[in-house]
Structure 1
Amino acid sequence: MMAGIYKIEIAETEQELKKMLAIEKSGANKERIQVLYLLSSKQVKTIKEAASIIGRNRVTVQDWLTKYRQGGLENLLAKKASSGRPRTIPKWAEKSLIKRLESSEGFNSYGEICEWLTTKLGIEAKYKTVHQLVYYRLGASPKIARDSRSSGVPTV
């Protein structure tokens, strides 16, 4: 094997790869498919050439081809799982919170939501975290209990 020339069997035909390139929405996946296309159509002979054309480091392209070799196109295009820290308020708790926010009971304040999360669901969450979740992510707000007979002024 000559230095820099990478032997790889590409299962997909040039036409299949060309079609995939046309319909792929993700830029990251397009690059990966493009490398396979360049190699299968013999437009490039080495990884270095392919990397140069798509503007990526040779090692990055080698990593992609290793993934392809190990698990095909599916493995090459697989999304990476988030490596971030787990959410303070898990999805299941968020669903319960949404139900409660939608109910007629609602909440009077973000502080009350924090208390409810702690007492009912056993989740300790800071005021700021609760506010960001409810206001920005859920697009909601704690409901203020109003007397239906009044002129819209909250009852105290």
Structure 2
Amino acid sequence: MSGVLKTEIQESVEELKTLLNRQTNAVERSKLQILWWLKQKQVTQVNELAQLSGYHRITVSRWLSRYRAVDGDVRQQLIQELEDAERVSSYGEIQRWLAAIHGQVVPYKTIHKTVRYGLKGKLKRPRPVSEKQPVGAVEAFKETLAPTSTST
């Protein structure tokens, strides 16, 4: 049947409620509200969501398709990629990986939110070291560094 939703919401009702309360951007808040309605099973069709949210049904469908963009299998592979810090160093690299391996074109913002907030991952890498710095200078500095006292 056309318009019937088959979107599985991965977040719990409590998570969605806290995200909804913390959200300050009106459009992002509307997106979370739609996910909350779906999780609560208050609506079953895109037209109902469109009427409740005040957005066009095409807009609501587009938001839901972006939400479904990173499915469960790809998410598990992404988690494995993130565990190995050598493989992934930027969100753009993840975006290219999804496009090349899985054929999914996902916006940068969606990848950032999924990795940073959904998977609780941080893409960290060390700062560059000057070429003029002698080898072992950092270790020597750490050895001679006087311990700081925390008492007052």
Shorter-chain TM band: 0.3 to 0.5
Q: Normalising by structure 1, what TM-score? A: 0.45
Give the alignment's TM-score, normalised by structure 2. Answer: 0.46
> Greater CA radius of gyration, 1 or 2?
1
